[in-house]
Structure 1
Amino acid sequence: MVTSCNHYNECGCEVSACCLDCPLPVCKFEFKQGMKTVSATLKSLRISHFLDEGRSMAWIMQVMGVSRRTVYRAKSDRNSVTDPLTLSVRRATMNVEAIAASSNRETSNAR
């Protein structure tokens, strides 16, 4: 059976009609609770972004429609941004950081 994206297998979900066009960095099917986990992660990232911009707690609560506890929870989760990533993406992120750190050491040793 050919789907709307011309694949011969079922693909897509409520986020996108085709997996190849999906805007999510990690597929919702990789999480135990699916879209619920994706929505919670995106909400937490939005709150973290507002906190980084210096927005007030009251403003974030009003705009996002969340409680003070949710904002504090997102604030504490900011340190663990890589938790929702898959293992391969997490390794790639660590590799990039390791390469950057080693190149900084090499330039400081050359002086």
Structure 2
Amino acid sequence: MFAMDAVAPKRREIAEPRFDHYEDTGCEVASTCFGCPLPRCKFDDMEWFYKYRRLGRYLHMASVIHGEGLSISEAAERFSVTQRTIFRVLNRCRDAMRELTPAEAAVFARLAA
């Protein structure tokens, strides 16, 4: 008898399929996962979701600024931030509109409102 025979791994049994119950409860974006408009699931990539949720707040701020015709100083006072932050918000919104579809931008802006 060889030493290899003594330590040979046992053949794995084929596991039965699992039939766990999965309840699709959705999240704050959609009531069900199948009805979610996002290209990725927030639970799969939380960093991605938080980045774009923050961007949604920025999009909401930008829409208020443009919709009400606020100046930079008026917007800074309205949102209780510095003027530099308003410039940052507007620049990030301009850049983000290049990478987001209008539907995605609307979803994140709706989350921020």
TM-score by length of 2: 0.47
Which has more radius of gyration? 2
Q: TM-score, normalised by structure 1?
A: 0.48
Q: Using CA pairs below 8 Å that are at least 6 residues apart, which structure has the higher relative contact order?
A: 2
